[in-house]
Amino acid sequence: MRIFFVLLFLLGHLYARIPANDAALERIAKEPQRVPFSFAVMGDNRDGEGVFEKILEKLDKSEIIFGVNNGDLVANGWAYQFKEYVGIISKYKKPILSAIGNHEIPLFFSTRSNFKKYIGKPYFSFVYANSYFIFLDNANKKKIKKKQLRWLKAELKKAQSYANRFVFLHVPLYDPRKGPYKKGHSMKDFKNAKELNELFDRYGVTMLFASHIHSYYSGVWHKTPYIITGGAGAPNERDGGFYHYIIVHVNREGVSYELKRL
């Protein structure tokens, strides 16, 4: 009888669904490592499944290698919502990597357990062709803590041998609607935001992608170019936004960014 239960346990682990990001990274690793290539970036799809699926349909018809969803994937961070989200992205051909946003943390519970189970690590990195991709976790809306900050510094150092360094975090460093370097719908710890900005400047980040504000903004914070993209389905009336996503074209001569309105 004991052997029977051990076998059941092993079979359960063998056939358990791996986290969605791990599955996507496996698929991306099998792609030919070529330049030029393109990828997509979007953010804030929660409560807007119809819009989100229209974007995924368009991405499936495009030449991108993969897409990035930059956080606020679900409404409240509950397990059934993650299951529904993974079910949606699994229907489409292009692999989708998902960052963690504040809505992925259940209200009153500061836990990332559901995100880890269904999506994967809250912060991670990977390489494709001539580019280094770094995903950060500032879903607490306040700051990036010391352990992750040490990891980030090490990752940015490793990324120096690559032509491009793309960084993704859900909550922007500052709120461009308030002014060039002002707090608003952005990181609450201003000192931490400035420290991150200085790191990105020092290590020459090619583009910093944020979301959280349900609109589109682009500019430069000191030396670091940024794009805020929050138009993948979440209500945008508050922020005066519009539904959209970004196509990033990586060439040997440089990188270009194409805004796609729905």
CATH 1.10.1200.10 fits 19-261, yes or no: no
Pick from 78, 58, 8, 67: nearest CA to 40: 67
Inter-axis angle of helices 20-29 and 79-90, to 10 degrees? Answer: 30
- How many CB atoms lie under 10 A from the CB of residue 173? 25
| 3-state SS assignment for residue 53 | helix
pLDDT in the model for residue 236? 86
Residue in the structure block whose two tokens are 């060039």: 180
Residues 155 and 134 sit within 8 Å (Cβ to Cβ): yes
Give whole-number Cα distances, 175 to 84, 114, 207, 237, in Å: 31, 29, 17, 17
Structure tokens at 78: 């509950």
Identify any residues that bridge with 229 across adjacent strands, giving them in sequence order: 216
Q: In what order do the strands lie in the sheet with 164-168?
A: 124-128, 131-135, 164-168, 207-210, 224-229, 216-221
User: CA angle, 137 as apex, 131 and 256 as ends, to 5°?
Assistant: 30
d(Cα 39, Cα 96) in Å, to the nearest integer? 10
Task: Report the alpha-carbon distance of residue 136 to residue 123 in Å, rounded.
Answer: 5
Q: Which residues of the chain have pLDDT under 70?
A: 1-16
* Contact assessment for residue 209 and residue 68, using Cβ atoms and an 8 Å cutoff: yes
Domain coordinates in residue numbering, the chain = 19-261
Two tokens, residue 193: 């935001």
3-state secondary structure of 250: strand
pLDDT digit string, tens, across residues 204-225: 999 999 999 999 999 999 999 9
Q: What is the pLDDT of residue 5?
A: 33
Rounded (10°) CA dihedral 58, 59, 64, 69: 140
| Alpha-carbon gap, residue 222 to 249, rounded angstroms | 24
What's the pLDDT score for residue 194?
Answer: 98
